[in-house]
Amino acid sequence: MADPGSTGRFGRFGGRYVPESLVPACEQLESGFRAAWADPAFRAGLARTLALHAGRPTPVTPALRLSAELGLTLLLKREDLTHTGSHKINNVLGQAMLAKRMGKTRLLAETGAGQHGVASATAAALLGLECVVYMGERDMRRQELNVFRMELLGATVVAVRNGSRTLKDACTEALRGWVTQVDEAHYCVGSVMGPHPYPWMVREFQRVVGEEARQQCAALLPQGRPDVVVACVGGGSNAAGTFAGFVDTDARLVGVEAAGGAAVSRGAPGVLHGYRSQVLQDEHGQILEAHSISAGLDYPGIGPEHAHLADIGRAEYPSVTDAEVVEAVLRLARTEGIVPALESAHALAWVLRAAGTPQLPTGCSVLVTLSGRGDKDGAQLVALRRDGARSGALRRDAAGTPR
Ligand SMILES: *Cc1c(COP(=O)(O)O)cnc(C)c1O
């Protein structure tokens, strides 16, 4: 997981597929990032902001009761404890500080569920930048509270009325918006996707998760590193940051996708939003909608570096169902007193399924990145319990059956 050079290629994936008018902006960003990342003063300033404003370093917590139940050693990297409640803050603070260093005055962002929009609005407010967030009209209706949060933080939310009026349309619109205001605006991409240099740059801004965890695991585990490292994958930024800390060890790397958004196992090579990767598409190359219980994983593509890590066999990308995810939320809540985000619960759901099988034999050690906290999912879990359609587990609990 090194520097992909000026082409931004990861094997047969990645690259830069943008209109001519955006090529200079991508090149300017690449050289701006290269200079900043090589500048110890920028790195120190970012580290300081992450410590003072975002609450880094986050702990690695041994999940003692759940470990005992599963017969293995389970460690949790606690991105749920950051300011704003997920790993997204690491990336947006990095990009906002870079934008400011490059003389930009405005951040543009796209958002689906609103989480990247809220994080971008937070970083913009902290650094005194304007913020414009593109959001599908349908998503705006579904995520009213996050729209309000962004506005509270001083951002302007632009309703996108094209296509399915969801995340992929918002991405397209944000790229279009950027073309018209490249001099003053920075486009703040929310995951390890988009044209070069974004997949590489976002992975570097998330690398802090894996590097902290590597040191913390060294202090907690007798053999110094976990046997298996697991993270959920939407675009793949929390997984990329986590994997970057362990890719040079012999730890197995597992990225867990949503069954309805499994771009690695069910996708095919294609170009989406400026980069080449595995993409969910029909036989005519039309992009398919992804479906998942967690809005943060509702994306039809995956970061190009993950597609490459799967190609070369360095990482595996299984998928889990919505029902397994709800079970995982409940299990962690009841055994450890931690309510994970639905996204993060995908990683845990795979561990619950694999524990005690040759995939995760008894006695092994597993690091799971808990990418975010579950407070945001409360209303959705209440609705699931009400209709009981997807989750027997929640219904059983409502009836008070002891677990
Ligand atoms: C956005 C989000 C994700 C998915 O994004 P990645 O780029 O795949 O990390 C996962 N977990 C949480 C809590 C999120 O908010």
Per-residue pLDDT reduced to its tens digit, 24-58: 999 999 999 999 999 999 999 999 999 999 999 99
pLDDT tens-digit map of 283-292: 888 888 787 8
CATH 3.40.50.1100 holds for 9-51+88-198: yes
CA of 245 to the centre of ligand 1 (A): 18
Among protein residues, the one whose CA lies closest to atom 2 of ligand 1:
296
CA of 238 to the centre of ligand 1 (A): 6
CA of 373 to the centre of ligand 1 (A): 11
User: Which pLDDT value is given to residue 398?
Assistant: 41
- Closest ligand 1 atom to 202 CA: 7
Active site residues: 88, 110, 371
Distance, in Å, from the CA atom of 161 to the CA atom of 139, rounded to the nearest integer, reads 11
Distance, in Å, from the CA atom of 289 to the CA atom of 273, rounded to the nearest integer, reads 14
pLDDT tens-digit map of 169-181: 898 899 899 989 9
- Closest ligand 1 atom to 373 CA: 13
pLDDT over 80 at 297, yes or no: no
CA of 400 to the centre of ligand 1 (A): 32
pLDDT band at 301 (very low <50, low <70, confident <90, very high): confident
Average pLDDT over residues 64-88: 98
Average pLDDT over residues 112-122: 94
User: Which pLDDT value is given to residue 378?
Assistant: 86
CA of 222 to the centre of ligand 1 (A): 30
Which of 76, 77, 87, 264 maximizes ligand 1 atoms within 8 Å of its Cβ, making it the mutation to test the pocket?
87
- Closest ligand 1 atom to 116 CA: 1
Distance, in Å, from the CA atom of 109 to the CA atom of 121, rounded to the nearest integer, reads 9
At residue 295, what are phi and psi to the nearest 5 degrees? -60, -30
Distance, in Å, from the CA atom of 167 to the CA atom of 111, rounded to the nearest integer, reads 6
Distance, in Å, from the CA atom of 167 to the CA atom of 110, rounded to the nearest integer, reads 7
CA of 399 to the centre of ligand 1 (A): 32
pLDDT band at 111 (very low <50, low <70, confident <90, very high): very high
Among protein residues, the one whose CA lies closest to atom 13 of ligand 1:
372
- Closest ligand 1 atom to 86 CA: 13
Please tell me which of 17-21, 108-112, 167-171, 347-351 the model is most confident about, judged by mean pLDDT.
347-351
User: Which pLDDT value is given to residue 394?
Assistant: 58
Average pLDDT over residues 3-8: 94
CA distances to 80, 196, 332 from 64, rounded to whole Å, are 18, 41, 11
pLDDT over 70 at 116, yes or no: yes
User: Which pLDDT value is given to residue 395?
Assistant: 53
- Closest ligand 1 atom to 341 CA: 13
Distance, in Å, from the CA atom of 139 to the CA atom of 120, rounded to the nearest integer, reads 17
Which of 88, 293, 368, 373 maximizes ligand 1 atoms within 8 Å of its Cβ, making it the mutation to test the pocket?
88
Q: Could you identify the residue written with the tokens 């947006």?
A: 92
Percent of the chain with pLDDT over 90: 78
Q: Return mean pLDDT, the chain.
A: 92
User: Which tokens sit at 397?
Assistant: 């609990």
Q: Any residues with Cβ below 6 Å from ligand 1, and which?
A: 86, 88, 115, 191, 232-238, 296-297, 341, 343-344, 371-372
pLDDT band at 402 (very low <50, low <70, confident <90, very high): very low
Percent of the chain with pLDDT over 70: 96
pLDDT over 80 at 391, yes or no: no
CATH number for the region 55-85+206-395 comes to 3.40.50.1100
Q: Which of 331, 325, 364 is nearest to 347 (CA)?
A: 325
User: Which tokens sit at 102?
Assistant: 């490059």
User: Which tokens sit at 12?
Assistant: 């047969």
Q: Which of 174-188, 295-309, 345-359 has the least mean pLDDT? A: 295-309
Among protein residues, the one whose CA lies closest to atom 5 of ligand 1:
234
Alpha helices in 252-336 (DSSP H): 263-266, 304-311, 322-336
pLDDT band at 401 (very low <50, low <70, confident <90, very high): very low
Among protein residues, the one whose CA lies closest to atom 7 of ligand 1:
237
Ranges for all domains in the chain classified under CATH 3.40.50.1100 = 9-51+88-198, 55-85+206-395
